[in-house]
Chains A and B, each alone.
Chain A
Amino acid sequence: MKKETESAINTLKFHPDGIHNNSFTKFLLANYK
């Protein structure tokens, strides 16, 4: 699975509570270039 974002990604991290959420999309795109 691949998804386009608004700009280049510098840092990407899953939210630490992601395990409690059935959705894969619960993560932080923390830092864009």
Chain B
Amino acid sequence: MDKGKLTGFDLNYFFSDPTYFLSGYSNGNVILSVFDKNELTTLIEEENENINEDITNKVFKDIFTYKSHKSEITALEFYPNETQFGFVVCSNENYATFVVGNVDEKIPKFSERYKIISHMKPISSVSFHPLKEYTAFGSYDNFWSFHNILKVNFFPFYFFNN
């Protein structure tokens, strides 16, 4: 399947072993992938000039595809927390979602914890306040907005690994 263009990327600094990263695409899909840093170090130190897709697929493994958004991903960022795994996804559809999940289980499960629907144009950037609870969003609609993405009542929408 055509993934489209890569339009967003973020590396998780809060869960370091294994290491997770997100890739967002122009078709709205977001892929959560993982790599083992020891395997990556070995691959780099071998200086193998014949690295092909089979070799990289062994090191970088896709574990979940989040398919809620249907247009280009405009901003993508991991939730800065060492105990709660989550990330924020913004797209050209003028909204953003805060997704939380459990990656420790054999079958990772994710749910939408909060949705930002207060902007009239795409959200261009997201920034987490150092207190971790509050998040700011900047948009092409000439507004920024603050949200408490944790202390709100929102009926979560669940996603299962696919």
Contact with B along A12-23 (1 / 0, CB 8 A): 111010110000
Closest to A13 in B: B127
Tell me whether A8 and B121 are in contact in the complex, defined as CB-CB below 8 angstroms, given that A2-B145, A18-B130, A24-B146 are known contacts.
Answer: yes
Q: Contact: A33 with B140, CB < 8 Å?
A: yes
CB closest residue in chain B, given A14 = B127
Interface size range on B against A: 20 to 34
Since A9-B144, A14-B136, A18-B130 are in contact, a sample of 12 more A-B pairs with Cβ atoms closer than 8 Å, ordered by chain A residue number, is A1-B145, A2-B144, A3-B143, A3-B144, A8-B124, A9-B138, A12-B137, A14-B130, A18-B129, A18-B131, A19-B129, A19-B130
Residues of B that sit less than 8 Å from A by CB: 118, 121, 124-131, 134, 136-147
